[in-house]
């Protein structure tokens, strides 16, 4: 029996002969024998190619190369179309083209430069930088961050300072009003908790009383009294259940108001404060500074 293996240290072909008594004899193979078992893998190890034959590896690499070329052609086409739209100052349409082109890889600097040139209307407007789409792009596109610091650094720094000052002015007012509402909403909630509990207790008591009175109708000689009590307690049970439903719904509403009040953007001023904080986070990404939440987390971990 004969078996061929590939020496991992020297890359030589080894032929192993097994005799009938189980002994083995290893012999170095010739170049032709080595070629029979040698595989040409990519320079970087790719686990997805493990277990494939040489033919399958070649087919997979060819498929990947074809896909890469198609992606490159699409990228070039989108970039050319974006540049043409940019030249016509059709910034919104150009932004869409460059955004799609930039998805083919963060290293595609032409698309990234075109994207933020269009988004800022040739570096005259910063508003689109704060949109959710561009903010997400800024987090992954280092070229875009560098470009904005170079072209827009002074203006963005001024905007950041303006936002910080507005936040310092607005935050105390928002928090004071929030605390005031919190106290009123808590009192309102407590009111409905009490009445809901009372209604539940009364409903339970009257329901039991109704059952007892009904049970005694046939046990006494004069059933008119138990019948009357059953009717009275039944009506009281119905009223109590109705009260329970009304106060229960009011309690649900009071709980919702309490939860909504804890959201900073639940009012007009609060929404503005939230938007300013979000814009500061975007500017922090551009200037590659940690956000307030990140800084707080790092400080907590330090302690």
Residues β-bridged to residue 27 = 15
Q: Which residue pairs from 183-188 have beta carbons closer than 8 angstroms and sit at least 24 positions apart in sequence?
A: 185/254, 185/257, 185/258, 185/261, 186/258, 188/254, 188/257
- In this structure, of 65-74, 81-90, 150-159, the range with the lowest mean pLDDT score is 65-74
Question: What pLDDT sits at residue 141?
Answer: 86
Q: How far apart are CA 236 and CA 72, in angstroms?
A: 79
% of the chain with per-residue pLDDT over 70: 77
pLDDT of residue 8: 47
298 inside domain: no
Residue 18: strand pairing partners: 24
pLDDT band of 36, cuts 50, 70, 90: very low
Question: Given a cut of 60, is residue 210 above it in pLDDT?
Answer: yes
pLDDT band at 191 (very low <50, low <70, confident <90, very high): very high
Q: How confident is the model at residue 52 (pLDDT cuts 50, 70, 90)?
A: confident
Report the predicted TM-score, pTM, of the whole model to 2 decimal places.
0.61
> Are 88 and 165 in a shared domain?
no
Question: 74-124: per-residue pLDDT in tens?
Answer: 888 899 999 999 999 999 999 999 998 888 765 568 889 999 999 999 999
| Whether residue 117 sits in one domain with residue 5 | no
- 280: confidence class by pLDDT, cuts 50, 70, 90: very high
Band (pLDDT 50/70/90 cuts) for residue 298 is: very low
Residue with tokens 């097994």: 18
Q: Is the pLDDT of residue 34 over 50?
A: no
Domain assignment present for 144: no
Instruction: Tell me the pLDDT band of 30, cut-offs 50, 70 and 90.
Output: very low
Question: Are residues 219 and 257 part of one domain?
Answer: yes
Instruction: Determine, yes or no, domain membership for 162.
Output: yes
Do 100 and 21 fall within a single domain? no
CATH number where 162 lies: 1.10.287
189-193, 242-246, 261-265, 289-293: the lowest-pLDDT one: 289-293
Do 115 and 224 lie in one domain? The reply is no
Residue 17 forms part of a structural domain: yes
Q: Which of residues 125, 141, 168 is at a domain's end? A: 125
pLDDT at 208 over 50: yes
Q: Are 101 and 179 part of one and the same domain?
A: no
245 in a domain, yes or no?
A: yes
Of the pLDDT bands very low, low, confident and very high (cuts 50, 70, 90), residue 44 is low
pLDDT at 2 (0 to 100): 45
Mean pLDDT of all residues in 146-153: 90
Residue 11 in any domain: the answer is yes
Identify the H or E element spanning 52.
none
pLDDT at position 46, please?
65
Clarify whether residues 79 and 186 are in a common domain: no
Residue 183 lies in a domain: yes
**Pair (85, 187) in one structural domain:** no
DSSP code for 125: -
Query: Looking at the structure, do residues 185 and 238 belong to the same domain, yes or no?
Result: yes
Residues 32 and 78 in one domain: no
Based on the fold, state whether residues 224 and 259 are members of the same structural domain.
Answer: yes
What is the tally of structural domains in the chain? Answer: 3
What confidence score (pLDDT) does residue 94 get? 93
Burial class (CB in 10 A: 0-12, 13-18, 19+), 134: buried
Average pLDDT, the chain: 81
Look up the domain containing 108 and give its range.
63-125
On whether both 235 and 170 belong to a single domain, the answer is yes
Tokens of 271: 């929404």
In a domain, 140, yes or no: no
């Amino acid at each position: 029996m004969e078996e061929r293996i590939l020496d991992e240290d020297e890359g030589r072909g080894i032929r192993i002969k097994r005799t009938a008594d189980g002994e083995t004899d290893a012999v170095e193979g010739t170049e032709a024998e080595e070629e029979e078992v040698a595989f040409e893998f990519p320079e970087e190890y790719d686990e997805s190619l493990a277990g494939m034959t040489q033919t399958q590896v070649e087919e997979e690499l060819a498929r990947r190369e074809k896909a890469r070329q198609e992606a490159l052609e699409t990228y070039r086409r989108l970039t050319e179309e974006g540049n043409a739209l940019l030249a016509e100052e059709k910034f919104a349409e150009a932004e869409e083209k460059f955004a799609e082109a930039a998805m083919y890889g963060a290293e595609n600097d032409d698309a990234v430069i075109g994207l933020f040139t269009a988004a800022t209307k040739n570096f005259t407007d910063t508003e689109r930088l704060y949109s959710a789409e561009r903010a997400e792009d800024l987090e992954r596109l280092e070229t875009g961050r560098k470009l904005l610091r170079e072209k827009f650094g002074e203006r963005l720094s001024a905007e950041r300072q303006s936002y910080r000052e507005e936040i310092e002015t607005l935050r105390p007012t928002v928090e004071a009003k929030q605390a005031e509402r919190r106290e009123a909403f808590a009192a309102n909630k407590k009111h409905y908790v009490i009445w809901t509990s009372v209604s539940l207790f009364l409903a339970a008591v009257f329901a039991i009383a109704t059952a007892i009175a009904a049970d005694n109708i046939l046990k006494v000689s004069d059933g008119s009294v138990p019948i009357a009590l059953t009717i009275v307690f039944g009506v009281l049970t119905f009223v109590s259940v109705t009260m329970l439903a009304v106060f229960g719904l009011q309690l649900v509403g009071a709980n919702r108001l309490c939860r909504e009040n804890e959201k900073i953007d639940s009012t007009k001023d609060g929404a503005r404060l939230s938007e300013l904080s979000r814009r500061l986070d975007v500017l922090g990404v551009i200037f590659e500074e940690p956000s307030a939440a990140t800084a707080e987390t790092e400080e907590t971990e330090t302690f």
